[in-house]
Structure 1
Amino acid sequence: PAVYYRTVHTEPIQSLNISTVQPFSSTNYFNNIDSSKVPPIFLSARQALYTRYAPKDWHNAQLTNYLASDKICAASARLRSDAIGLAHEKDEQAFKNNFESSRHIAEIINDIEYWESELEKTKDNMKRKIDDVEFIQREVKRLLSETEKPLRIVQENLYEREKRQGIDLVRDNVERELIREVDTIELSQQKLRQMLERLGFQNALNFAGLHELERDVQDKSRARVLDSAAHNIQTTSSGIKFYEGIEYVDNTISVPESWTRYTQENIRRAVAGISQSDELLSATNQLMATIYDDIWSQWNHVNTSLENRLQEEKVAKNKIQSHLEKIRHEIVDVEQTIEFLKKTIADQEAFLQVAQTRLETRNRRPNVEACRDSAMLRLIQEVHDLHAAIADLYGKLRQEENALQLLLRTQSTLEQDLEIKNNSLSIDSEKVMSIRRTFIMGAPEKSLVTSVSFSQPHDLITV
């Protein structure tokens, strides 16, 4: 391919955008006043014809290869020695690990045999005791039925309060107290049902405890057989094979502590079931008295919280109405300001049209009369000033419009919040408080709980 050259700037005889294929043209050399020296053109090409490496380089390269070979051989020898040592070490470690695993399995087998023996003793000592407490049992059933009345009311209260809207759908103190009341009643019902089970179905409870003991014994017997089989497996045993990834399979559901605690709990429940019958009468009397007082006390706590919440909602409603009135007045003022700014911008644009028209008219002056005189300079300055003024006014107009939009959104939010507050007041006062003015749960018979004193009469909080 042709080599292209361009003329230098010292003698621009030809245009710089014209290429030439004449490398020896006299126009391509610097003149005498330029002290730069141009190197020969074909010097690099001539140098490429000679050898690039010296004999010393060749010998050094060979020596480097020899040294590298020696180092690699030495490293390989060390690696072989380390590999043999590692193999012996891992072999010893494998024997040690196998011994430790066998020892741990043997310990587990001993633990299983111990607890299996304890479970068998407890199972043999399980006895059935039943006390004839039919009168107390009927009273417990009646009290259990009475708890359904306040439970239905509090559930209806929670259902009605779910109809609150927006931000008022809050977990306030009333809701927390209502939920606590539900928990109190349900916990009381649970205790009463448990007491009924203890009174009427002691045999069933004992049988359930016995069933748990038998199942625990059966599981431990199966586990003991499997652990014994695992303990007897050796490297010479038949049937051993690889199970890839078995070490990552974890189907355990307990740890040693919870495993022991599970059996202890089964034994404890069985022993407790044997001695429960002697304490049923006094426990039943105390339970009924406590349940009645707890439910009545929580009922009053809910009423107090509900009254306080009604006051808060009324105060919030009044504040919203006050702020809404201020917002509406401010919206009117901002709208008037926006109209004033638009009129001012229109006036400024009229002045701008005048100034620009004057400039355009004076630009048609002929020849030397087109003078950049003081009038023209003043008109130009006037145009710049008007542009700046209009830009400032438009910026302020956008700010006012943004403020108006924000005010309108705030107004909408407050109006919506006011509707929400009215809805909440209606729910809490008309649908919740109206059905909580009277406590409708009957107290247990005093003759049955002579050892317990009720704090009657229960005066309801004045609402």
Structure 2
Amino acid sequence: MKVHEAALNTGPDSSCGLATAGFRSARYLPEEWHQHNYARYHQAFADRDASERCRHESQGLAAHTAALAQRTQQDATATLGRRLQDIHFWKAELQRAVEELAAETDLLAAQKVRLERALDATEVPSAIATDNLQCRERRQPPDLVRDQVEVELLKVSGDGARLEAFPQLNRDHKQTCEMDWSDKVETYNIDDKCGRYNNQSTNIQFHPSSDFCTFPYSASTPETWAKFSHDNIYRAERERLASINLRSLIDNILHDTAEDLHLQCAAVDAAFAKRCEEMEDAKHKLEHHLKKVREIGDQENNIAALKQAIKDKEAPMKVAQTRLYDRSFRPNVDLCRDPAQFRLISEVEELTESIESLKQKLLEAEQSLRNLEDTRMSLEKEIAVKSNSIFIDRQKCMAHRTRYPVVLKLAGLNEMKLLF
């Protein structure tokens, strides 16, 4: 009791206060408190002022760099536009030279075919057949079969293999111009794509490599670049004029294989049409079966329901097990094997059995879902294979066969442009 009273006696006139006089306590003087607050005010003002100044400078710098970036981008876009005009001019000139060379080459080839009898006229059908065979090699199993179409195409390819080699004529110059034109087309597409880029484009990204900013030692200048195309066009024109003089010397014609080739062409076209019809029918049947594989969604819902059912059993299991656990603490004789105890035990067993049954059914449902997904994948793969085969036969081969020459061209009585 005396200790308690002494502890309560802590007023300004208490003996404890007198005993500690002259020592520094944890309390601060009012002047120190005000000084501390003023220091915080000043620090807050200085930090806020520096932040505002930094923010204004940042805004000015951001606006300046944004305007600079926009100007430089506009200048680069305009420069690309002017470059595109130059490329388009030479591309058009090269295309004209190629077309003129191609026309003259076809005329000269037609005349040459007339001298070599109509055998050379089978080169185009043979080339088309070879191209069709090569295209059809890209079919995927199980569509990679030796069908009637391939048998008919091999007949045409075999006829073409017996022909003599055609002279080069204007092909070297034509190929040079075509390569130059191809480069111009590729360059035009690249520069056109670059000119269409803007800040909102979705396919732009960082390319930090410095190799893009340097030029190889062999890089051309605008002058040598233009001179290269000019020289190619000049040589092509000179060769074309020489070809015109040569073509005036040729005048014989024969029609030996024209009718046979067209009969074979009709047979190949009929085989193509029949084969495409068969593949379309198979594809439609596969698609029909694929549409029926709708059980996947129902099975997924069933799996979700089973998982939820298993989860729903957790609370009852917790209740039953908690009851058993708590009842195990009944004292002495009250730890009785009463009906409630047996019912709780049976409840746990029933819940365990239910959960195991649900888990087993869940495994079965998941396996069924995997089987359905495998079936769907297999059907989709087969449909893709059929679509690929149909595309090759119809869009590639049959579209290419529209270039098949008519009888007069095979006989050498018309321009044989299709030979090249």
TM-score band w.r.t. shorter chain: 0.3 to 0.5
The TM-score normalised by the length of structure 1 is 0.39
The TM-score normalised by the length of structure 2 is 0.42
Which of the two has higher C-alpha Rg? 1
Higher normalized contact order (CA 8 Å, seq sep 6+, divided by chain length):
2
